[in-house]
Amino acid sequence: MSDLSLSILLASVLATAAPLIIAALGETLTEKAGVINLSLDGSLLLSAMVAFMVAYESGSVTLGFAAAAATAAAIAALVGIFGIYLGQLQVAVGFALTLMCKDLAYFLGNPYSRLQGPQLISMKIPGLADIPLIGPVLFQQPLAVYLSLLLIPLVWWYLYRTGRGLELRAVGENPEAAYTRGIDPRRKQLLYTLAGGALVGIAGAAFSLGIKPGWGRPQGIEGIGWIALAIVIFGGWHPLKVALGALLFALLQVIGISAQGIWPSIPAQVFQVAPFPLMILALLVVNLLQRETIRHWLQQRPGLALLAAQLHGAPPRALGQSFKPD
Amino acid sequence: MKRHLFDTLLILTISLLFTSLLVTVVGASPADAFHHLLNGSFGSWSKFSRVLNVWIPLTLCSLGLLYAFRTGLWNIGVEGQMLLGAIGTAGVMRLGVDSASPLLFLLLALISGALLGALWALLAGWLKTRGGVHEIFAGLGLNFVAMGIILWLIFGPWKRPGIASMSGTEPFPRELWFPTLEGWRVSPFALTLAVTGILFTAWILNHSRFGLKLKAVGHNPRAVPLYGLSAQTYMLIAIVISGALAGLAGGLQVSSIYHRLIPAISSGYGYLGLLVVMLANFKLLPIPFIALFFAALNVGSIQLPMMMQLDSSLSGVIQGACVLSALLVFGLRRLKAGAKS
Amino acid sequence: MQIELQQIHKRFGDVHVLQGIDLKVDAGTIHGLVGENGAGKSTLMKILTGYLSRSSGEILIEGRRADYTNPAAAAGLGIGMLYQEPQDFPPLTVLDNFIVGRDSHPDNDRGRQQQRLSELGAQVHFQLNGSSILGSLTVGERQQLEFLRLLGRNARLLILDEPTTGISDRQKERLFTALRLIRDQGRTILLVSHKLEEIAALCDRVTILRHGRVAGEETAPFHIPRLLELMFDQAPESFLQTDRHLPGERLICFENVSASGERTGLKACSCRIYQGEVVGLAGLSGSGQGLFLRLAAALQQPLQGSIRFHDSPLAGQDHRAVRKMGGCFLPANRLEEGLITGFSLVDHFTLARGCSRNDAWTEATAAISRFNIRATPNSPAESLSGGNQQRLLLSLIPETASLVLLENPTRGLDVASAKWVWDYLRGHFRNQGALIFSSAELEEIMAVADRILVFFDGRVVRDLPIDQVDYQDVASAMTGN
């Protein structure tokens, strides 16, 4: 493959991965605090539609992004309030919302089908973009890509190097102990549900105002939300691994499209569904590793043990449960 | 009883208000929208038979979900189980295309559909009981894998001669269609299946010892060994029944409604069934009625694009709004009960 | 920090758990708090640390009234508690666990916090690595970190609840040294323990609680028999005829069984129970009795050793096999582990007897009258009072049971009901099998059992027929002497 096409390949991987990274990192924050936002898929669609609609009507891409973030945050707020304060199962609310938001997106977005609207343009960083090979890949991308790349170290730093990030992690692991230490778990959980939701909204906007511009039925990003959820699990709730998982998936997608020409016999579906068996495998590994007999068996196979250690990332202990102060 | 009635009315009112607001926002008249929804589903026998064609698989899926919920399992994998049922049924039907006894093949096809759905559910169940993987994630993952398998079949080994396309496999010949009555497009056999399913489930879940055992597992899995029960075994049985019913529903979609395998063969009834059961607050009695309501919405909304330039997904919005209002009302009731104690 | 409790009362509904506790702890002392199960120790501690509100009475800190209503406020006043179950975050690092919390001035500079951790550790001779994952540490080390954290939070009153359970002897010595060090610094320590030797080794003063009241207060040096006398009631008149039964065939056999669970686990337990025996498991709660019962019921598997029931090995079997052979288990946590919420009495009988609903209705009605259960056949289990739940559980025991395992069977029953229960159990099941039961009341065991096994720290320290037992000796064995 020539230099140019490798460049284009890598550039499109980063571009494809960008919204996925943003959404998955947002959900990582939410789940690290102990809340699971199953409405991700519908929320992404709805915020993508809202972003396009608002940008189209106002002519401003920025406004579109803001509206999308607000919409997704509001959806997440519903999950938070119903789950944390009204004692409903987080998965029940999230599930109902994901279906409804999808239909809401189609319904409200109907008049905006197949229209041309404002888009994010590639921003070229002068000088750096002229570096051969990596120049166009890293320094000539739409804003969303820069945002996604910036988020990775930012989220990592927030979670592992700040006091608030520490409290976030503590709440997700043991809300009772956090409560004993004067932290209000419910407020924190709601806060990070909203924050994660806002990021999901931005991801949605990144789609309809950039990567997959416009609106339609189907829009083309159906199912990405579920993939983001799978990636969070597969990435062991760690921002760096999650981002890596998103990039891997994007790579598979891009290769899948171009490989179709070369190997038509390998079904494209393999690439589409790959994250899900991987997610199940990751969960399986986490649970099996907790068993004495398995750990003993692995000790004799250091190669496998290393692989298992990489896949191993236990969920926040309080994930999905509501905390009730008595 | 009075409280249930009040709650139901409250839920309906909130949803209707929300929907009306939404319709007004897009510049249409709510009254017109509701009129078309009603007319599109109950306006003629032909339309109503379409509603029944939705009601049948939707009810079967919902019934199946009830078994799983009794043991405390969230069988989100029901979509995949429907898909596998469709695959199983289509596979056997393909074998019987030129056969002399098409009815036999149809029956066998349905049975294999139920079987495949059951096996797919068993997979999710095993992942949960032996592997500790939560059934929501196992189910979700398997749904997507099932989707992948269907796409592969439609574009691969089972593709239409000449062009492989999203319109699915080669349609089955009329001999392999479930017979319908004059003028109706509903198969009475399928209808009977659904009604039998309701009665059977009512008896099993509410009046049999097996149903009591399922309930015990759902209420207190820790205590059931003291009564000679293994929680894991009953969870597996429940999810397998759930998968079988979903597989049956998928099989009916292939054999009596679409007459071929298409990517969207489940029509989303698996997920919709979850909404039905949530709205029914996990009780059997409301399910057939809620399913009818949802089915009517689905069919009625087909009119909307033509008549009012509205997207037919309004039905989904109404369904979702109903469930969310229900969750709100149930949640507020719990708060009230909690504050009292 | 000097702390004083004046006439603390606590009522839970009709139950008067604490009946006027007076306690004065001087600054710079280690003060012990001892008492049997149910004496009121943990309730008192929960009030002191802000988890529970007191019904009446005063708490004075440095002579001034203190009114706090939640744990964080208590922590703000300088009260810190080291719980039996660690209240920490295992997946986070040691340093993270040290830092996180709003119960004092938060300082987010990790470098400074690491330094504080090292300094505090050096003061009391605890060596902890800030970057280790907390979950990989032993119980003793996790306790050490919590200790350091409380010191770092300027806790001036440190309450320790059974701190030496589950830690090694070396860690125990380290802990004791640390306690003496901080006491000499002027901090106050309240040590709640049932291990009288440790109390004697560490404390300056001891308060003994019994049945919700202060039974006495002693100053060091302590006379252990005197402490025992104050802790336990006198040996009572037995309220039942202990007609000695000659034991029959071997029913249950434990061979060098070790298991994990409760706080202490079970270590190298070997014993044989014979048909016709009523065996009482004595010991302070969590010493291994519950684990013993669950192992015999095959609700849990041992890590080592073997258990045989009716001469078949229970390895690889679960409770259903035991049930089939005639075994039966009644847990102490009735609603969480024994009954099904939302199920009526009829439902329970349908499930337990495997019969039709009509037959179950008959059985339920019969059980209600026979066992004096205050309920109707359709009452849901959770609507029954604790005592009636216990009667329901008892009524569910199959008639043909040959091994009845009971965990605290007369908890929540009045004396007359308890007597009735024992008459029933002994009358019915002794002929065809054996009864093994644990109880928090030593008097009950002494009155009812043929044989007594005393548990301490996960081991059986006494195994005697009842007529060879000395009350004081058993009481002292329960506390580790």
In this predicted model, what pLDDT tens digit does every residue of C121-153 receive, in sequence order?
A: 998 888 888 888 888 888 888 999 999 999 888
**pLDDT per residue as tens digits for the range C19-61:** 889 999 999 999 999 987 777 888 898 899 888 888 889 999 9
CA distance C480 to C164: 12
> Is position A318 within any domain?
no
A103/B316 CB distance under 8 A: yes
* Single-letter amino acid, residue B231: A
CB atoms near residue A8 (< 10 Å): 16
Contact call for B227 and C351, based on CB within 8 A: yes
Q: What is the pLDDT of residues C227-264, one digit of tens each?
A: 888 887 665 544 445 555 666 788 889 989 998 887 78
Contact C4, C59 (CB under 8 A): yes
The CATH homologous superfamily for domain C3-231 is P-loop containing nucleotide triphosphate hydrolases (3.40.50.300)
Q: What is the mean pLDDT of chain A?
A: 85
Nearest to B216 among C299, C351, C354 (CB): C351
Residue A273: its pLDDT value, please? 76
**What pLDDT, on the 0 to 100 scale, is given for residue A140?**
73
pLDDT given for residue A269 in this prediction: 65
As a whole number of angstroms, the distance between CA C396 and CA C403 comes to 14
Query: Is the Cβ–Cβ distance between C262 and C290 less than 8 Å?
Result: yes
Residue B238: count of CB within 10 angstroms of its CB: 28
Q: What does the pLDDT read at residue A258?
A: 66
Query: Is the CB of A163 less than 8 angstroms away from the CB of C88?
Result: no
Residue B174 amino acid letter: R
Q: Name which of A115, A112, A117, A152 is nearest A14 in CA terms.
A: A152
Query: Is the confidence at residue C72, as pLDDT, over 60?
Result: yes
Residue-wise pLDDT tens digits, C331-374: 998 888 999 999 999 999 999 988 898 999 999 999 999 888 88
For chain A, list the strands marked E by DSSP: 122-124, 140-142
Distance of alpha carbon C446 from alpha carbon B32, whole angstroms: 82
Q: How far apart are CA C442 and CA C475, in angstroms?
A: 8
C-chain residue closest to A316, CA distance: C91
Residue C433 confidence (pLDDT): 87
With respect to residue A226, please indicate whether it lies within any of the assigned structural domains.
yes
Alpha carbons C412 and A88: distance in angstroms, whole number? 34
Instruction: Give the pLDDT band (50/70/90) at residue A257.
Output: low
Q: Write down the pLDDT at residue C243.
A: 56
Is A70 domain-assigned? Answer: yes
Nearest to A35 by CA among A85, A102, A104: A85
For range B282-311, the mean pLDDT? 92
- Give me chain C's average pLDDT, please: 87
Amino acid at position C302, single letter: P
Phi, psi torsion values for C471, nearest 5 degrees: -55, -50
Write the pLDDT tens digit of every residue in A30-88: 999 999 999 999 999 999 999 999 999 998 889 999 999 999 999 999 999 999 988 88
What are the domain boundaries of chain C?
3-231, 250-326+398-478
Residue A36, CB half-sphere, CA atoms under 13 Å: how many? 25
The secondary structure of residue C332, as a DSSP letter, is S
What pLDDT was estimated at residue B143? 94
Q: How far apart are alpha carbons C204 and C222 in whole angstroms?
A: 9
Find the CB nearest B223 among C320, C340, C350.
C340
d(Cα A271, Cα A268) in Å, to the nearest integer?
6
Q: Distance between CA C198 and CA C167 in Å, rounded?
A: 14
Average pLDDT on B51-67 reads: 96
State the residue range of the domain holding A295. 3-311
Looking at the structure of chain A, the number of domains it has is 1
Residue A80 lies inside a defined structural domain of this protein: yes
Is the pLDDT at B333 greater than 80? The verdict is yes
CB contacts, 8 Å: C87 with chain A: 174, 176-177, 180
Smallest CA–CA distance, residue C403 to chain B, in Å, is: 14
Q: How confident is the model at residue C12 (pLDDT cuts 50, 70, 90)?
A: confident
Dist. CA B177–CA B103, nearest whole Å: 9
Q: Quote the CA–CA distance of A78 and C450 in Å, as a whole number.
A: 62
Average pLDDT over residues C422-437: 87
For C77-126, the pLDDT digits (tens) are 889 888 877 789 988 999 999 998 876 666 778 888 888 899 999 988 88
Task: Give the domain CATH number at A109.
Answer: 1.10.3470
pLDDT in tens, A141-153: 788 888 999 999 9
Count other C-beta atoms under 10 Å from residue C212's C-beta. Answer: 20
Q: Which residue of chain A has the CA closest to B140?
A: A276
Q: What residues of chain A lie within 8 A of the CB of B320, using their CB?
A: 96-97, 99-101, 103-104
Are the Cβ atoms of B145 and A277 closer than 8 angstroms?
A: yes
Q: Is C231 an interface residue toward A (CB < 8 Å)?
A: no
Q: Report the pLDDT value the prediction gives residue C322, as an integer from 0 to 100.
A: 92
Please tell me the distance from the alpha carbon of residue A202 to that of residue A144, in angstroms, as a whole number: 9
Q: How far apart are CA B133 and CA A234, in angstroms?
A: 13
Please compute the mean of the pLDDT values over residues B203-216 and round it to a whole number. 94
Q: Inspect the interface and report whether the beta carbons of A170 and C89 lie closer than 8 Å.
A: yes
Look at residue A268 and tell me whether its pLDDT is greater than 70: no
Q: What confidence tier does B73 reach under pLDDT thresholds 50, 70, 90?
A: very high
C112 close to A (CB below 8 A)? no
Q: Is the pLDDT of residue A306 over 70?
A: yes
Cα C99 to the center of its chain, rounded Å:
31
Q: Residue A325 — pLDDT band, cuts 50, 70, 90?
A: low
Superfamily of domain C250-326+398-478: P-loop containing nucleotide triphosphate hydrolases (3.40.50.300)
Burial pattern C321-360, b for ≥16 Cβ within 10 A else e, equals ebbebbbbbbbbebbebbbbeebbbbbbbbbbbeeebeeb
Q: Are strands C64-65 and C79-82 parallel, antiparallel or unpaired?
A: unpaired
CA angle (B232, B233, B238) in 5-degree steps: 100
Cβ contacts below 8 Å, chain B against chain C, sum to 47
Q: What is the pLDDT of residue C239?
A: 46
Q: Is A280 in Cβ contact with B317 (below 8 Å)? A: no
> Residue C63 in 3-state DSSP?
coil
Shortest distance, CA B180 to any CA of chain A (angstroms): 32
Distance from C-alpha of A310 to C-alpha of B320, rounded to nearest angstrom: 39
Q: Give the model's confidence band at C396: pLDDT under 50 very low, under 70 low, under 90 confident, else very high.
A: very high
Q: What is the largest CA-CA distance in chain A?
A: 65
Identify whether the C-beta of residue A78 lies closer than 8 Å to the C-beta of residue A310. no
Of C89, C106, C108, the CB nearest to A177: C89
Whether pLDDT at B39 is above 50:
yes
DSSP alpha helix (H) spans, chain B: 2-25, 30-42, 45-70, 78-95, 102-129, 135-155, 188-207, 209-219, 231-252, 269-279, 287-300, 303-308, 314-340
More confident residue, A96 or C287: A96
Q: Please say if the pLDDT value at position C281 is more than 90.
A: yes
> Residue A136: what pLDDT?
67
Tokens describing residue A261: 């020409």
- Going by C-alpha positions, the residue among A153, A133, A156 that lies closest to residue A8 is A133
Q: Is residue A241 part of a domain?
A: yes
Quick one: average pLDDT of B192-205? 95
> Token match 């701190």: residue?
C163
What would the pLDDT profile of B248-292 be if each residue is shown by its tens digit?
A: 999 999 998 888 899 889 999 999 999 999 999 999 999 999 999
Q: Is A29 exposed, middle or buried (0-12, 13-18, 19+ CB in 10 A)?
A: buried
Instruction: Answer yes or no: is pLDDT of A162 > 50.
Output: yes
Q: Given this model, what pLDDT does residue B300 score?
A: 92
| The dihedral sign for the CA sequence C121, C125, C130, C135 | negative
Helices (H) and strands (E) counted in chain C, each on its own, are 16, 20
